[in-house]
Amino acid sequence: MATRVLGTLTIGQAPRADVVPIIDRHVPAEVRRIHRGVLDGLTRAEIAARYAAEPGEAALITRLHDGDAVELSRRMRDGVQTALGALEAEGCDVILLLCTGTFTGLESRKAWLVEPDHIIPGVVAGLIERRQLGIIVPIAGQIVSEAEKWRPLARPPRFATASPYDADNDAVLRAGRDLHAEGAEAILLDCIGFTERHRAALNPLGLPVILSNAVVAKAVGELFGG
């Protein structure tokens, strides 16, 4: 039987040392992994020239190899599509996009393409039902730019902002406390960069905390029988 292959595609630089352990927890070990990034091999100057977000633009945020965060324009959609094609050419059976942001019209010819924004809203809506959800996003502009994807929720969510790429967890806890004060009964960390340390930082609130990357990693694991 041929070895099955999982490709992951970050909008930043691969591999994502913060996210890969979560994927590995849920995808069978015998599945071969190929990790790629849209910004692989690019200098900071090249990244800025191609993909820097304009002032006021609805940006995305990701992490570079050195751990620094960078905000990117949604013009990078074509770069994402090109990288998806390259992963498919490498023989990937499933390709997981490591970004919870919304991209329009991405496609693959044969591989299963797993886009988190197609999975997370429906799963979370089913879990939450009529309870009040609080969502922590990494940059304030995404409260508006990503609002449409939350239409499956029975109640409009409450939002707060904190970056997963800050060195400490204080901002995440402050954001969680703000959401709790606004009536949140559960919190979703809506960025691939949020990890177990951020979930742990919210433990004092005593609320369920949902990790976006864990949701999609579990879904991908199901495709491989994990």
Confidence bin at 140 (pLDDT 50/70/90): very high
Could you give the count of Cα atoms lying within 13 Å of 59 in the half-sphere of its Cβ? 16
The whole-number average pLDDT for the span 90-112 is 96
Kindly tell me if the per-residue pLDDT of 1 is higher than 90.
no
How many percent of the chain have pLDDT more than 70? 99
Q: Each residue of 94-105: b (16+ CB within 10 Å) or e?
A: bbbbbbbbbbee
| pLDDT for the residue 167 | 73
| pLDDT for the residue 226 | 66
DSSP letter assigned to residue 2: P
The whole-number average pLDDT for the span 26-53 is 96
| pLDDT for the residue 168 | 82
What residues pair up with 60 in beta bridges, in sequence order? 72
The whole-number average pLDDT for the span 151-163 is 97
The whole-number average pLDDT for the span 106-123 is 96
At residue 102, what are phi and psi to the nearest 5 degrees? -95, 125
Write out pLDDT tens, residues 182-203.
Answer: 999 999 999 999 999 999 999 9
Per the confidence metrics, is the pTM higher than 0.85?
yes
The whole-number average pLDDT for the span 75-96 is 97
Kindly tell me if the per-residue pLDDT of 3 is higher than 80.
yes
Kindly tell me if the per-residue pLDDT of 43 is higher than 90.
yes
Confidence bin at 125 (pLDDT 50/70/90): very high
Give the closest residue to 7 by CA, choosing from 40, 42, 56, 51: 40
Confidence bin at 151 (pLDDT 50/70/90): very high
Q: How many CB atoms lie within 10 A of CB 178?
A: 17
